[in-house]
A and B are shown apart, each in its own frame.
Chain A
Amino acid sequence: MKPFAQKLNELTPELVALVDDVIARHNGDPTQLVGILLDLEAGVERHYIPEPAAYYLAERLSIPPTQVYDVISFYTALHDQPRAKYTLQVCDSAPCRVKDSDALCETLKRLLNLEVGEVTYDGRFSIEKVPCFGACDVSPAVRVNGVVYGHLDSEERIMDMLRQLD
């Protein structure tokens, strides 16, 4: 394993600025680690926590890097690998499944020529299956960067949703 100092060498000035900004928004409070990591992820184009940023964050908050990675690996909404600019999160819980979210997922896979967990070559789209995000009244639904698109029960509606993204 590389020593910490080397990880910090890979930091870009933009990443430093982003981490500093997010920490300032949370008053440098290490108990807000979960919220800090979420904001950090939202600020990175491919919506993940780059390794140098995680180590720099640990140093700034005076907490062990293991705590940062404990949190990242525990929570479903935090990621340590690059995802896509638009990650299509398909609800995989019963309220959407009984409204045939499986068919929705298959349609997305076919339209984007992707498997679940893969990212398109240009880094723009990927498909993830996630547990219930509380949009059961408009199921089957997809959530993209915090925005919910509901009633996706036909191919036209799914196409409309994809067009709205980009």
Chain B
Amino acid sequence: MSKTVSFITRNFGKYNPSSLASYEFIGGFTALRKALDMDGDAIAQLLADNGVQGRGGAAYDMGRKWSQARAVQAPHKCVVCNADEGEPGTFKDRELLSKDPFQLLEGMIIAGWAVGADNGYIYMREEYSHLRPQLLSAIEQCEKAGYLGENILGHEGFHYHIHLYSGAGAYVCGEGSALCESLEGHSGRPRMKPPFIKQCGAFHLPTCVNNVESLSLVPPLLLDKDGFYKSQGTPDCPGTKLISVCGNVKNPGVFEVPFGITLREIIYDLAGGIEDGHQLQLVQLGGASGRLASPAQLDTQYTYKGMKGADLTAIGSGAILVVDERTSVIGFLRMTQQFFSHESCGQCTPCREGNRHIARFLDKIAAGTHTEEDIKLMEKYANIMSTASMCGLGETAQSALLSAMKRFPEVFAVKKEVAVR
């Protein structure tokens, strides 16, 4: 099995990302023409047959998502492209947005056709504002060429427009319902569910939210005649995935890998190994909300099942943060905790208060003044947060801590003199 593949990233460097003509020259928009001859159900079925799961982190079955969105009866629907990529350590969508914006737009138009939507919204994080002009011009060129607008490519009644919206530095806006709030010009606080956003999302319309990578995957998949995508990866987890490797490695960056590669191959072969003379301490998978892996777990296969089996985050956003011995486990947990304390929207009590308390416990552990009682309470609070929080942010905020308690129990050990007291 080759280490890296080129399927979603097949166009990288092959055309000028600011010119529609050069995208058409390399065969752009043939997938859209093919899709327009297909039924929306057939497109959703194609995704399901290839076992495509959402690439934003939740790994929802994409074919199912599209057929559910298609089944909702409403005069207007919308498709949202989630380009909020806020998970620390994730920058794969940045590459897709900067090097292949037209493939994303093509994927969004196909999504609009498949689910029967009339508007598409790209919600891009403010941190990527330097990519705005290129993306806006790409949308404009598509409108002029008739790929967007009224009666697209002569298909009577298929009207579809794409709008570019900007976030403003709020991690919680990556959560579907918070994203919808932000699209409407409000602060991004998650909504109570139900209603789910597939029934009532942005502008109170049925909304189908997909990650940048999920949408970018659609055009190559439609054109994949000889089943290349399915031949990659493992039998129970076919396909390829973009990962972003960063931290204390020699060669950080974005790689497209087949599922089934091991963490060891990713870290030592693709990313060049740990920086000079240092030892691997831990790996965090899937961004700040991901679990920690110990060096003993490096031979775990990078598939949804393999990762779950090893009690790790199932792929998540594709972020792989490698940390060497210069950062202690507790030091690392405090960094992650500071992030969540800052990013909690403060709406629900478990997340708002829980983050505060856990930050205090971690300070105590770092100072070595904690007791058995503190550890028990900390674990209890962390579990309450993951079961009782309103949205995914609070639910996953403590996965790093809880996994660290399993994998590195020694760092939570109570110092003797404190225990006696």
* Bound-state Cα–Cα, A128 to B259, Å: 39
A57 → chain B closest CB, angstroms:
12
Q: A12 contacts the other chain (Cβ, under 8 Å)?
A: no
Q: Which residues of B contact A131 (CB under 8 A)?
A: 86, 88, 169, 171, 339, 342-343
* Bound-state Cα–Cα, A137 to B127, Å: 15
* Bound-state Cα–Cα, A139 to B129, Å: 19
Stretch binding the partner chain, chosen from A15-23, A74-82, A115-123: A74-82
A133 → chain B closest CB, angstroms:
4
A93/B246 in contact, CB under 8 A: no
Number of A residues near B (Cβ < 8 Å) is 38
23 A/B residue pairs, CB under 8 Å, sorted by A: A34-B165, A34-B185, A35-B165, A38-B129, A70-B186, A70-B187, A71-B185, A74-B170, A74-B187, A75-B126, A77-B167, A93-B88, A94-B89, A94-B247, A95-B88, A98-B335, A132-B288, A133-B127, A134-B85, A136-B247, A137-B244, A139-B246, A139-B252
B253/A137 in contact, CB under 8 A: yes
B86/A132 in contact, CB under 8 A: yes
A129 → chain B closest CB, angstroms:
9
Nearest CB in chain B to that of A148: its residue: B130
A155 → chain B closest CB, angstroms:
19
B155 → chain A closest CB, angstroms:
27
Nearest CB in chain B to that of A61: its residue: B185
A134/B94 in contact, CB under 8 A: yes
B residues engaging A (CB < 8 A)? 85-91, 94, 125-130, 165-171, 182-189, 203, 244, 246-248, 252-254, 284, 288, 321, 323-324, 326-327, 332, 335-336, 338-339, 342-343, 345
Which of the residues B165, B166, B188, B335 comes within 8 Å of A94, measured between beta carbons? B335
A residues engaging B (CB < 8 A)? 30-35, 37-38, 63, 67, 70-71, 73-78, 92-95, 97-99, 130-137, 139, 143, 146-148
Nearest CB in chain A to that of B165: its residue: A35
A103 → chain B closest CB, angstroms:
11
Q: Which residues of A contact B324 (CB under 8 A)?
A: 98
Q: Which residues of A contact B288 (CB under 8 A)?
A: 93-94, 132
B90/A134 in contact, CB under 8 A: yes
* Bound-state Cα–Cα, A78 to B188, Å: 13
Nearest CB in chain A to that of B163: its residue: A32
B169/A94 in contact, CB under 8 A: no
B168/A37 in contact, CB under 8 A: yes
* Bound-state Cα–Cα, A31 to B203, Å: 9
* Bound-state Cα–Cα, A148 to B127, Å: 9
* Bound-state Cα–Cα, A107 to B125, Å: 28
A95/B187 in contact, CB under 8 A: no
B133 → chain A closest CB, angstroms:
11
Which of the residues B166, B169, B326, B339 comes within 8 Å of A93, measured between beta carbons? B339
B91/A134 in contact, CB under 8 A: yes
A115 → chain B closest CB, angstroms:
18
Q: Which residues of B contact A146 (CB under 8 A)?
A: 129-130
Q: Which residues of B contact A143 (CB under 8 A)?
A: 127
Q: Which residues of B contact A63 (CB under 8 A)?
A: 185
Q: Given A67-B186, A135-B91, verify A94-B167 contact (CB < 8 Å).
A: no
A98/B332 in contact, CB under 8 A: yes
Q: Given A75-B169, A98-B247, A99-B247, verify A137-B252 contact (CB < 8 Å).
A: yes
Q: Given A94-B284, A139-B246, A146-B129, verify A33-B166 contact (CB < 8 Å).
A: no
Q: Which residues of B contact A130 (CB under 8 A)?
A: 169
* Most-contacted residue by chain B among A37, A38, A137, A139 (CB, 10 A): A137
* Bound-state Cα–Cα, A35 to B182, Å: 10
A77/B89 in contact, CB under 8 A: no
- Which 5 A-B pairs rank lowest in CB-CB distance, beginning with the nearest? A74-B187, A75-B168, A33-B185, A77-B169, A76-B169
Q: Which residues of A contact B326 (CB under 8 A)?
A: 98
A24 → chain B closest CB, angstroms:
15
* Bound-state Cα–Cα, A99 to B335, Å: 12
* Most-contacted residue by chain A among B91, B184, B288, B343 (CB, 10 A): B91
* Bound-state Cα–Cα, A135 to B91, Å: 7
* Most-contacted residue by chain B among A30, A76, A143 (CB, 10 A): A76
Which of the residues B88, B184, B188, B327 comes within 8 Å of A31, measured between beta carbons? B184
* Bound-state Cα–Cα, A71 to B335, Å: 26
Q: Which residues of B contact A94 (CB under 8 A)?
A: 88-89, 247, 284, 288, 321, 323, 332, 335-336, 339
Nearest CB in chain A to that of B247: its residue: A98
Q: Which residues of B contact A30 (CB under 8 A)?
A: 185
* Bound-state Cα–Cα, A75 to B179, Å: 13
Q: Given A34-B165, A94-B336, verify A134-B342 contact (CB < 8 Å).
A: no
Q: Which residues of B contact A31 (CB under 8 A)?
A: 183-185, 203
Q: Which residues of B contact A67 (CB under 8 A)?
A: 185-186
Q: Which residues of B contact A135 (CB under 8 A)?
A: 91
Known: A75-B169, A94-B339, A143-B127. 17 other contacts (CB 8 A): A31-B184, A32-B185, A38-B126, A71-B185, A74-B187, A93-B88, A93-B89, A93-B288, A95-B88, A95-B321, A98-B324, A98-B335, A134-B91, A136-B90, A136-B247, A137-B244, A137-B253
